Chain A
Amino acid sequence: MNNQNEARDVLLDLKNIKKYYPIQAGIFRKTVGHVKAVDDVSLYVKKGETLGLVGESGCGKTTLGKCIVRLHRPTSGELRYKFGNKYRNLLSLNKKESLDARKKIQMVFQDPYSSLNPVKNIFTAFDEPLKIHGWSNADERKDRIAELLESVNLRADYMYRYPNEFSGGQRQRICIARAMCVNPELIVCDEPVSALDVSIQAQVLNLMKDLQKELGLTYVFIAHDLSVVEYMSDRIAVMYLGKVVELASAKRLYYHFEHPYTEALLSAIPIPKIGGEKRQRIVLEGDVPSPANPPAGCRFHTRCHKSMDICKTQAPTFRPLKNDPDHMVACHLADTADA
């Protein structure tokens, strides 16, 4: 397995990640069930690429992102991360190694308005993480902060300003700079532009792309806006109800999708063209089923327009396609290698 990872230049390998939240009821707080926010997800992230994670609200993409940054501890599974040339499970590190690993993986949050502490100026917000991660010289830290602010196209003297003095786009750029202050290799971006204006979105996305090119960063890019994900990602994983249903390169996914859910999602992207190509719009009926009590068989069969009898009883496994082993899908209809 390690050899395979080595060959693909994998930076982070998720193995059977599960995150269940117990549902407690009654006076004795007995656990009566679990909300399966992330249910058995296996993915890998290659060094230097952007892996897009898409799906409806509540499908577990943010939870998965927070598991990667270890803000949530997965119920089970392994997070194998490449340190130097060795893969280590992030969930079984000791205290010192764990702090070191936090330097490697950082996160940019969805809401730029709540990601910066309103009573701390930008300097203080950057200074403390730098101090913790071994920047002992105060002058060097100040230099570093000035450099970071300039790298996200903000003036260095903004460092003594307070968050309320910035606009949403500026704040998100500050958040990106803050995530980068400890020189991470992997940044998990949790819908970093969904709270911003469309004009500002492009600005922030381009900045992120430039930084990636310049510093060789790896992104896990979480979003529900498909056009944004297509623009940013090299590979895209589509999630539904805690499971990854399809994984393919961004280009391939848009034209050679296999899963009916991906098809439905893609058909929802508006086409900016007068009298343009007619596309069949697939409207999904009903709501996402409760992740506490997911449907038997394929989780999507209750809303699938191609549902068959087998879907109701037997859950499809997540397998590579016959003609493209990098394209993986969980659907009975797909022409998979060992189907």
Chain B
Amino acid sequence: MATALVTKQKRIKKSSLAKRNLQKLLNNKLAVLGLFIVVTMILLCIAAPLLTPYDPGKISLFERDSAPGGEHIFGTDKLGRDVFARILYGGRISILIGLSGALGGMILGVVIGSLCGFFGGILDAIFVKVAELVSIVPQLLLVLILSTIIGPGVPNLIYVFIFTGWVATFRLVRGRFFSLREESFVEACRAFGIGSLSIAFKHILPNCLGPVAVQLTLNTAGFILQEAALSFLGLGVPTGVPTWGNIMNAAKEIITITESPWLWIPTGVAIALFVLGVNFFGDGLRDVLDPSQL
């Protein structure tokens, strides 16, 4: 009997979830395009030393403000630094800040949200108040305060984004948990004697990951934009470090905007493209991760 069943199972074809999900993702043209843009841009940034011979920080006063073409594809800025090199090297930092800020916020939000949503009680009451506290302070003000306390810099900016970014994921996960923990499948797990933490993280949490993944991509895009905005205002990364925001920072004056468009158009396009790509991909991801949609 047992052996018959085993041999029978060899014939049972396992329709792998990963394979099916990949197919679903590939069917979504917009998501594929988004993924393609994101991956290409990340690869370009990583391969920066191979693509450009210039050092992004090297000042060359003889080549100040030269228009695109010739040796410098995107021209040079006011200090004679190669704009193309700066965009590539700047992308490394910008993407790093956006991704790690969003990832950190997601992990924090998911863990706290799951625990609060599952167990409720005092723990939940405390964190709901903390989340409210974080979200009522204007983010710009919060960044100002935090950068005064811990000083500007790349890691500090990431901390700031984690500190402000977990709230959205926390609310999302907590809300989903509140509705899911009443479902019968949770009671079925209990009836089998499966432990609470296992129920929370292995059974309920996977049901929330679709929206969380979308939140992650939205946050990544949002944080890259915020980094650009903060650096543009001079509040983010120190001006010596090239980031997309710092490059845009050079285009503060009206004369630059009208006379040297190569200083801001390529950077602006890079930011817009990357953010758009991330958003497209996130949208597709949500559809893929929801098993009730075929």
Interface residue ranges, A against B (CB under 8 Å): 66, 69-71, 98-99, 102-103, 105-107, 109-111, 114-121, 125, 128-129, 132-133, 139-140, 142-143, 146-147, 156-157, 159-162, 164, 175, 178-179, 182
Chain B interface residues toward A at CB < 8 A: 2, 5-6, 8-9, 12-15, 17, 183-185, 187-188, 190-194, 202-203, 206-207, 291-292
Report A-chain residues with C-beta under 8 Å of the C-beta of B184.
109-111, 114-115
Known interface pairs A118-B291, A146-B5; A157-B13 also in contact (CB < 8 Å): yes
Chain A min CB distance to B186 (Å): 9
CA distance A326 to B146 in the complex (A): 76
Given the contacts A120-B203, A160-B14, A109 and B187 also touching, CB distance less than 8 Å? yes
Q: Which B residues are in CB contact (< 8 Å) with A111?
A: 184
Given known pairs A114-B184, A147-B5, the reply for A102 and B291 (CB within 8 Å) is: no
Residue in contact with A132 in the complex, picked from B192, B207, B291, B292, CB distance below 8 Å: B192
Most buried by A among B12, B14, B188, B292: B188
Distance of B150 from chain A, by nearest CB (Å): 39
Name the residue of chain B whose CB is nearest to the CB of A184.
B191
**Cα separation A116 to B14 with both chains bound (whole Å):** 20
A164 with B185: CB separation less than 8 A: no
Closest to A178 in B: B188
With A99-B193, A157-B13, A164-B291 as given contacts, are A139 and B6 in contact (CB-CB < 8 Å)? yes
Shortest CB-to-CB span from B111 to chain A, Å, is: 19
| Residue of A107, A117, A133, A162 with most chain B CB atoms under a 10 A cut-off | A117
Whole-angstrom distance between the alpha carbons of A66 and B184 in the complex?
12
Q: Roughly how many angstroms separate A179 CA and B183 CA in the complex, as a whole number?
A: 16
- CB–CB A114/B5 < 8 A: no
Report Cα–Cα, A178/B206, bound state, in Å.
Answer: 20
Instruction: Decide: B9 and A156 in contact? CB cutoff 8 A.
Output: yes
Contacts A107-B187, A119-B291 given; indicate if A156 touches B12 (C-beta within 8 A).
yes
Known contacts A69-B191, A129-B194, A178-B188; is-contact A117 B9 (Cβ 8 Å):
no
Q: How far is the CB of A181 from chain B (nearest CB, A)?
A: 9
Asked whether A71 lies within 8 Å of B190 as measured between CB atoms, the reply is yes
Q: Evaluate contact between B292 and A118: CB separation under 8 angstroms.
A: yes
